[in-house]
Structures are given as structure tokens and as C-alpha cells.
Amino acid sequence: MSKKQGAIIVVLLALIISAGILATKLNNDSLYVGEQLNGDGQTISTSQTDTTTSSNFFAEQKILRDNTENSTLKTLQTLIDDDNVSKEEKDKTAQKYTELTLARNNESEVETILKAKGFQEILCLVEESKVSVIVKTAEKLTDKQLKQIQTVVYDVTKIMEVEVIEKQ
């Protein structure tokens, strides 16, 4: 495999990851009503109403996220193991593999900590410079709860931009 082919594969992997994240965000037919909490754009609170049950939503989205991540990790590992890929491409691919694995671990850790703090259902999506947290809630989250979510996300991921989406 030439360097050009390796580069094409890496670009395709980036597209797969982007498509998975986009599909996760767009895969629900919802009505969003949002509110910016602070002027610097760090935290956004969004309230959401949906016709499907919340439990199904969270289960489906976690499966979709996990399947996309598993597929991407498998493809990255195949590139790393391929003897025809240059060392430079293998290094770039290994870096992407490490970043995706770290993001996956961070998603899981954020979800676990927030559930331990009393939130019913949580779905966390870590991107390069932003984290989206979807929270099952019967009522609008309080400022204290929003700050708690933002703090947990920052402590785990070190990413300041946090989008909190309330799912009823």
C-alpha cells in the first residue's frame, strides 16, 4: 500500500468518526429549546422533548456510539498491523487509535460518575474540543446540576466546552 492509499484510508476513518458523531446527534426527531448559560460559550443547556421513550433513546444511542467506535478502532488496528503502511502513517494511525480509546474511556467515566451522583440516564459524547452530555430528566436541570455536570466533564476530559442536553 502506498503513502497515498494510507492517507486516503486515514481520511476515510476521520469521515467515519464524524459521520458517527453526526448520526448520534441527528438520529432523533426532537424539538430543541436551548439557552446559553454564560457568555463565553462554555456551557449550553438544551431542553428536549421526544416521542420515543427515554430508555430506548439512551440504549439505542449507546449501541450506535459503541458500534461506530468499535468499527473505527478495528479499522485503525488493521492499518497499524499492515506491513505495507509506512511508519509515518502507522504513527499517525496509532495516535488516532490512542485518542479514540482515551475519548471512549472518558465517555464511560463521565457517565459512571454522573450516574453515581444521582442522574438517571447519561449519554456522553467526547469530541476533540467539545463534550456533549445528554441527561434524562423529568424537570429542567438546576444551575447547580449543570455546574456539577460541567465540573465532572472538565475533571475527566479537561475540555471546557460542555453542551448539556436535557432529555425528557
Domain of residue 101, CATH code: 1.10.287.4300
Q: What is the pTM of this model?
A: 0.68
Residue 44 has pLDDT above 80, yes or no: no
Question: Which grid cell is 2?
Answer: 502506498
H helix runs in the chain, sequence order: 3-26, 54-81, 87-116, 143-157
Q: Provide, rounded to the nearest whole percent, the portion of the chain with pLDDT above 70.
A: 71
105: confidence class by pLDDT, cuts 50, 70, 90: very high
- The model's confidence at residue 17, banded by pLDDT at 50, 70 and 90, is confident
Instruction: Give strand pairing partners of 126.
Output: 131
- Whether 98 has a pLDDT exceeding 90, the answer reads yes
pLDDT (average), residues 15-30:
61
Condensed to tens digits (0 to 9), the pLDDT of residues 47-84 reads 444 444 666 889 899 999 999 999 999 999 998 999 99
Q: What would the grid cell of residue 35 be?
A: 439557552
Question: Across the chain, what does the average pLDDT equal?
Answer: 81
Does residue 37 surpass a pLDDT of 60?
no
Q: Write out the DSSP string of 95-121.
A: HHHHHHHHHHHHHHHHHHHHHHTT-S-
Give pLDDT, residue 8: 73
Q: What's the domain count of the chain?
A: 1
| Contact indicator for 134, 17 with CB cutoff of 8 Å | no
pLDDT at 23: 63
What is the C-alpha separation between 15 and 118, in angstroms, rounded? 35
pLDDT number for residue 49: 46
Per-residue model confidence (pLDDT) at position 26: 57
What angle do helix axes 87-116 and 143-157 make, rounded to 10 degrees? 150
Q: Which domain holds residue 151?
A: 3-167
pLDDT at 30 over 60: no
**Which of 4, 14, 1 is closest to 93 using CA atoms?**
14
